[in-house]
Amino acid sequence: MNFRSDNESPAAPEILAALQEANSGHAYAYGEDGITAGMRDRFRETFETDLEVFPVATGTAANSLSIAQLSPAYGAVFCHHEAHLHADECGGPEFYSGGAKVIPLSGELAKICPRTLRAALSKMEEMGIHESQPSAVSLSQATELGTVYKPDEIREISRIARGGGMGLHMDGARLANAVQRLGCTPAELTWKAGVDILSFGATKNGAMAAEAVVVFNNDRAAGLARRHKRAGHLFSKMRFMSVQLETYLKDDLWLQLAGRANRAADALSAGLGRLAGAQVLYPVEANEVFVKMPPPLADGLKEAGYEFHLWPGSRDHYRLVTCFATRVDEVKVFLALARRLADGLKAGELAKGLDGS
Amino acid sequence: MNFRSDNESPAAPEILAALQEANSGHAYAYGEDGITAGMRDRFRETFETDLEVFPVATGTAANSLSIAQLSPAYGAVFCHHEAHLHADECGGPEFYSGGAKVIPLSGELAKICPRTLRAALSKMEEMGIHESQPSAVSLSQATELGTVYKPDEIREISRIARGGGMGLHMDGARLANAVQRLGCTPAELTWKAGVDILSFGATKNGAMAAEAVVVFNNDRAAGLARRHKRAGHLFSKMRFMSVQLETYLKDDLWLQLAGRANRAADALSAGLGRLAGAQVLYPVEANEVFVKMPPPLADGLKEAGYEFHLWPGSRDHYRLVTCFATRVDEVKVFLALARRLADGLKAGELAKGLDGS
Amino acid sequence: MNFRSDNESPAAPEILAALQEANSGHAYAYGEDGITAGMRDRFRETFETDLEVFPVATGTAANSLSIAQLSPAYGAVFCHHEAHLHADECGGPEFYSGGAKVIPLSGELAKICPRTLRAALSKMEEMGIHESQPSAVSLSQATELGTVYKPDEIREISRIARGGGMGLHMDGARLANAVQRLGCTPAELTWKAGVDILSFGATKNGAMAAEAVVVFNNDRAAGLARRHKRAGHLFSKMRFMSVQLETYLKDDLWLQLAGRANRAADALSAGLGRLAGAQVLYPVEANEVFVKMPPPLADGLKEAGYEFHLWPGSRDHYRLVTCFATRVDEVKVFLALARRLADGLKAGELAKGLDGS
Amino acid sequence: MNFRSDNESPAAPEILAALQEANSGHAYAYGEDGITAGMRDRFRETFETDLEVFPVATGTAANSLSIAQLSPAYGAVFCHHEAHLHADECGGPEFYSGGAKVIPLSGELAKICPRTLRAALSKMEEMGIHESQPSAVSLSQATELGTVYKPDEIREISRIARGGGMGLHMDGARLANAVQRLGCTPAELTWKAGVDILSFGATKNGAMAAEAVVVFNNDRAAGLARRHKRAGHLFSKMRFMSVQLETYLKDDLWLQLAGRANRAADALSAGLGRLAGAQVLYPVEANEVFVKMPPPLADGLKEAGYEFHLWPGSRDHYRLVTCFATRVDEVKVFLALARRLADGLKAGELAKGLDGS
């Protein structure tokens, strides 16, 4: 069983069925088709506002295009040092923007600390033209550690961004999980809290390959159609991309799928937290569980066929990710095994302790 | 009925069925899955050589990545002025390469004229460092006018490229149509004729959204994995991209699909060539028919629901494109109407002639 | 004697003297010094308007920065195919702009033909987002063939540019020669005729290494200070750059220097035009003379120590360039030799003719 | 008196005299002149090896070109977080390289800590293609805090760089100060210790505007001539750039000038260190003195006309920079005043202390 990443999950059956249905005869290319028009409307309805939406097939593309819209080549973009934008895109934002600087910041629970942001901004402003122009802040929602920003937290970051003449980007690769968890509306978590451009993710949560750049602030949309095209993300048979997004949003499918992933994560977290010698590291606010456990326990689970990642740079921090397809009964089987292994280990240690001295 | 572009065709049922089948459970992300490994083997088998293959979702991406591999930022790339690379990618190759110059050349039937290429190369070399470094030549196979390069023609271009220290790229958005038409092997039309990097197209010929950068010359592959990633073309759920390509190549499906498109184009061309007042403009060597016809005839066809493009910059040159889904019986119905309309127009003109003076 | 290029001329003594004078003690760096402030005022006075000025050391830098201001990365820039911007900057504008396309146009006497420009613009607009966004037109004043645009001609190009939403750039590497020749004011030849950004040249006409980007249209200046810095053209000891420009403009030194070069070119042109077998090819409107002459005549002159270039791509078109340091008496000596050689060649040919048949 | 920066110093009289002398008649452009050839030889002689040298007018240009040679667009470059490369070039290296990532590292005394470098490298390698490719390390010699790397320290960094497949760059904006201070040869501090490319500085130490990219490793020079040209740093009247560098190196002028600056810094440091309430913060190994002193003392000095910078981000850390033109007797006068002010402040504080309680 795979807890490595929601990236490795299948596509939701609803989405594959919609693809099949969209495959009837010819359709105008490059987004001039009816399915794409409907998808655009669906986004406007979901976010309760006018907006522009540009489908892409990867989060790297969504993030990089977003940053290129918010930052000139001579600009700087602030984000948390754990953010995908900085640590996992192989320099995509730098490439798309023509060499903007991505400035990694520290902060608890993978969230940008407002004070740190203010200090970094002020230091950069002090340097004048010898430094890049502060241009954007990027938040990950949910974060790389599976935590979420509450609307108030986003608004605070937004105020700092505005004050420094910067735009606000949200990397919403797991936005569905955050929306479902917080129980607020998509609008409240994005444009109403000050987000200008959103990387909207669907792939991790049931699409085959579908993300989107969503621009809430029309002033930020100029030129995006051409950037999208020249970067190779304007699909000729756009309907197949659009139908994934349309189906994803329709009847709140996205939130239902995220709900399943979140509930599986809750079950996982509760169980792991009760294991002897294990400790859940961060609040589980989306579909990721970070757990510190003895490597022999992890090894035992892996030998039994369970897959999950050791967190880079650590020795005993493990990440387990659930998805819409993770069944709670499977989680229970996993936890039962974990319990047996943990208890066995503990007994062994006790035994060793008894033997040893 | 849509003759506008093979871009607007549906996906082949075989490919959608394969997608469905690939959707079983989790699979490793970013191309570490088994389907992707199989797809790579299939490419090596099809082209009878070792090679590297990087799936992408658009031809713009394939072309732009290819050029960035062959040309440094300070390089120049020669292509025909009709080539997509120059005229339809919104500056994609310039973006990906960091500002290489694309130099448009003239030539009959949308094919680069070797003499023109030699002269352009020699002029650039004469300028030394005041001009960009000649770095690549790009051929479109089939061309934008539906003609094809024969292996000998490719080899001649290749020799000039080699002589000038340049790499050779082939934009194979319609490679299947060319291979099927020429009856030679994919190898003979590509690396055996000197092609270093190929943009392999499948979307226009039955895939949903699947192209690939194929590198025959290993010396040209360095860094491509990272360019691919940072440009946002490394799919997390790669299996869904790979399975399209795998299915496309399996059992020569790609050539069967192209054969249908080519035969429909032949039927179309033969019929249009016999119309009063119409003239087929170029040899039909792939699945595109360019026809000069009186605008009233074109208008009549459009009123009847047939769709096709007036060629940009012209008044009475029309392009009709067939695809794997174009049925010869539909073509016959279309031609019958065309004949009636053309005869009617001619009679009208005769009548006007009789009336007029 | 060197007629190869005004690039190879010395610096004017006035300018070297001013450098010496500027070298007293410390001065604030990066343009915060008093000499730089004075230089800025001098530019405003000379061009009779408010403006921004950014000194650089090469014409390539001036042109490339200007284009990056006028064109986004996804833009296109139109210029004459002979323009330095296209043919001699090794892709500088493409680099600075992040991959804008430079579109070379044809036109008599190295001047953009308005009709050709209109057609190219309209073709590009028709392509929509599949092509780059028309963003700028660039004129060379004087042109690469030593001709000049009159204010009316600039205004016509400017109207087309405005109509297409484009900015207008002037490459004024030899602006002094044009202003002096036309007898109009610098303002009339630039912003009053619609120029937004000017590459102002001084190096060819007496400076040591001093050019400037001059922005007449404040809307076009945003971000230029940072582009200038990050490209490595913000000099720490700016006073030494500024004092060259200040001295160049003061008391119309620039026009006096250009006047000498122009008069020497006139003398050269008049003399060459009278040579047997020679023909001056274009109107001499600045300080360049293009002459068609028998290669043996050119060879004889070169053997006598005179240096000048064969025009790239030609067999018997030669370019001779004068400068502020070219003395008319030296030109006379040169012409006397040319006359003797030409007459000798003619006599030889006559003799050969008599012998031959 | 100006202790703000050696950037604000005048040019050395020897260099201005050489400029004057170089201004005789025409000379071939773009570096084909004899002075430039001589300058190249002088560099080879000074560094006791074959090498390539490309003059530029700013340190930003030298650093940015160097990085673009060492790192592909998808590469990463490690440097100290205080390095100019990261903190003062407005993203120049990112621009020139096409979007490489500059990764700031911590380390005592503004020097890269080898252990930190190894950890950062290893973390990046672990990420594979999801992160940029480790491509270069850049050292500042002398550092931003006026300290220097000893040959052994450079070799250690070099070994780590080599081991990770990276090139080694040295930002030698103040190389002369380091060479003079350490008493080793230029070769020992650069290529013999593993440096591949050097930004050679002369402007801060007596030139008007002259730096150079020096490539010791021929494999790293490919394409640099064109990068240099297209970025606008290939001067037409190159002799005026070259003669500055030639004169700077001739008869060890550069080391004599640096010696004066270093000795003045020593005098300054010794005197400031003895002031009541003041503390010299770092070893003075070049021509910069960092001193912590009470702001009222700094204010008093400024009121008397002395100029120096408060270090960004600090409240009472001040930087004083000397240069070749700083006279030791002037330093003495300054110190005498400082002493009087410091003693006065101390007396006042004592008085306050007596009053206060």
Please report all neighbours of A, defined by 3+ CB atom pairs within 8 A.
B, C, D
For chain D, what is the HEC assignment?
CECCCHHHCCCCHHHHHHHHHHCCCCCCCCCCCHHHHHHHHHHHHHHCCCCEEEEECCHHHHHHHHHHHHCCCCEEEEEECCCHHHHCCCCHHHHHHCCCEEEEECCHHHCCCHHHHHHHHHHHHHCHHHCCEEEEEEEECCCCCCCCCCHHHHHHHHHHHHHCCCEEEEEECCHHHHHHHHCCCHHHHCHHHCCCEEEEECHHHCCCCCEEEEECCHHHCCCHHHHHHHCCCCCCCCHHHHHHHHHHHHHHHHHHHHHHHHHHHHHHHHHHHCCCCCEECCCCCCCEEEEECCHHHHHHHHHCCCECEECCCCCCEEEEECCCCCCHHHHHHHHHHHHHHHHHHHHHHHHHHHHHC
**Token digits of residue D177:** 């100060």
Residue B356 has pLDDT above 90, yes or no: no
- Say if the Cβ atoms of A133 and C234 lie within 8 Å: no
| Mutation choice for D interface testing from B30, B226, B236 by most D CBs within 10 A | B226
- Say if the Cβ atoms of A227 and C98 lie within 8 Å: no
CA dihedral sign, ordered B144, B146, B147, B148: positive
- Tell me which residue in A98, A133, A229 faces C226 most closely, judged by beta carbons: A133
- Say if the Cβ atoms of D129 and B223 lie within 8 Å: no
User: If you average pLDDT over residues A252-273, what whole number do you get?
Assistant: 98
Contact A20, B14 (CB under 8 A): no
User: If you average pLDDT over residues D272-289, what whole number do you get?
Assistant: 96
Chain A: residue whose CA lies nearest to D96: A99
Q: How far apart, in whole angstroms, are the C-alpha atoms of residue D274 and residue D281?
A: 13
Beta-carbon contacts below 8 Å between B and C:
72
Alpha-carbon gap: D12 to the closest alpha carbon of chain B (Å):
33
- Say if the Cβ atoms of A229 and C130 lie within 8 Å: yes
What 3-state class would DSSP assign to C140? strand
Amino acid identity for residue B33 in this structure: D
Convert the pLDDT of each residue in D49-86 to its tens digit.
999 999 999 999 999 999 999 999 999 999 999 999 99
- Tell me which residue in C19, C232, C237 faces D92 most closely, judged by beta carbons: C232
Question: Per-residue confidence at A348, pLDDT binned at 50, 70, 90?
Answer: confident
What 3-state class would DSSP assign to C81? coil
- Say if the Cβ atoms of D312 and A123 lie within 8 Å: yes
**Per-residue CA distances from A50 to A221, A264, C259, C274, D204 (Å):** 12, 34, 61, 73, 55
Alpha-carbon gap: A135 to the closest alpha carbon of chain D (Å):
13
CA torsion, ordered A36, A40, A42, A44, to nearest 10 deg: 180
Closest CA to C300 of C283, C273, C314, C318: C318
Predicted pLDDT of residue D355? 57
Convert the pLDDT of each residue in A66-90 to its tens digit.
999 999 999 999 999 999 999 999 9
Contact B30, B333 (CB under 8 A): no
Residue B354 has pLDDT above 80, yes or no: no
Question: Per-residue confidence at D353, pLDDT binned at 50, 70, 90?
Answer: low
pTM value is 0.96
CA dihedral sign, ordered B51, B57, B60, B64: negative
User: If you average pLDDT over residues B309-317, what whole number do you get?
Assistant: 91
- Say if the Cβ atoms of D29 and C92 lie within 8 Å: no
Q: Could you tell me how many helices (H) and strands (E) chain A has, helices first? A: 14, 11
User: If you average pLDDT over residues B41-54, what whole number do you get?
Assistant: 98
Question: Per-residue confidence at C357, pLDDT binned at 50, 70, 90?
Answer: very low
C-alpha D280, offset from chain centre: 20
Q: Please enumerate residues of C whose Cβ is less than 8 A from a Cβ of A.
A: 72-74, 98-99, 129-130, 132-133, 223, 225-227, 229-230, 234
Alpha-carbon gap: C356 to the closest alpha carbon of chain D (Å):
43
- Say if the Cβ atoms of A61 and B19 lie within 8 Å: no
- Chain C residue numbers with beta carbons less than 8 Å from the beta carbon of A226 are 74, 129, 132-133
| Mutation choice for D interface testing from A71, A77, A81, A94 by most D CBs within 10 A | A94
- Say if the Cβ atoms of C99 and B99 lie within 8 Å: yes
- Say if the Cβ atoms of D88 and A127 lie within 8 Å: yes
**Token digits of residue D92:** 């120049």
- Say if the Cβ atoms of A74 and C234 lie within 8 Å: no
- Inter-axis angle of helices D151-163 and D114-126, to 10 degrees? 10
Q: How far apart, in whole angstroms, are the C-alpha atoms of residue D188 and residue D195?
A: 10
| Mutation choice for A interface testing from D77, D78, D94 by most A CBs within 10 A | D94
- Chain B residue numbers with beta carbons less than 8 Å from the beta carbon of A27 are 8, 10
- Chain D residue numbers with beta carbons less than 8 Å from the beta carbon of C14 are none
| Mutation choice for D interface testing from C90, C96, C213 by most D CBs within 10 A | C90
Residue C349 has pLDDT above 80, yes or no: no
Q: How far apart, in whole angstroms, are the C-alpha atoms of residue C4 and residue C9?
A: 9
Chain C: residue whose CA lies nearest to A101: C230
Convert the pLDDT of each residue in B80-131 to its tens digit.
999 999 999 999 999 999 999 999 999 999 999 999 999 999 999 999 999 9
Average per-residue pLDDT for chain B: 96
Alpha-carbon gap: A223 to the closest alpha carbon of chain D (Å):
20
User: If you average pLDDT over residues C84-93, what whole number do you get?
Assistant: 96
Please report all neighbours of D, defined by 3+ CB atom pairs within 8 A.
A, B, C
- Chain C residue numbers with beta carbons less than 8 Å from the beta carbon of B97 are 99
Complex ipTM, two decimals?
0.96
Convert the pLDDT of each residue in D186-217 to its tens digit.
999 999 999 999 999 999 999 999 999 999 98
Q: Please enumerate residues of D whose Cβ is less than 8 A from a Cβ of B.
A: 72-74, 98-99, 129-130, 132-133, 223, 225-227, 229-230, 234
User: If you average pLDDT over residues A343-347, what whole number do you get?
Assistant: 89
- Chain A residue numbers with beta carbons less than 8 Å from the beta carbon of C223 are 72, 74, 133
Convert the pLDDT of each residue in C318-342 to its tens digit.
999 999 999 999 999 999 999 999 9
Predicted pLDDT of residue C342? 94
Chain C: residue whose CA lies nearest to D62: C232
Beta-carbon contacts below 8 Å between A and B:
171
| Cα end-to-end span (Å), chain B | 40
Convert the pLDDT of each residue in C258-314 to its tens digit.
999 999 999 999 999 999 999 999 999 999 999 999 999 999 999 999 999 999 888
Question: Per-residue confidence at B357, pLDDT binned at 50, 70, 90?
Answer: very low
Residue B218 has pLDDT above 80, yes or no: yes
Contact B69, B46 (CB under 8 A): no
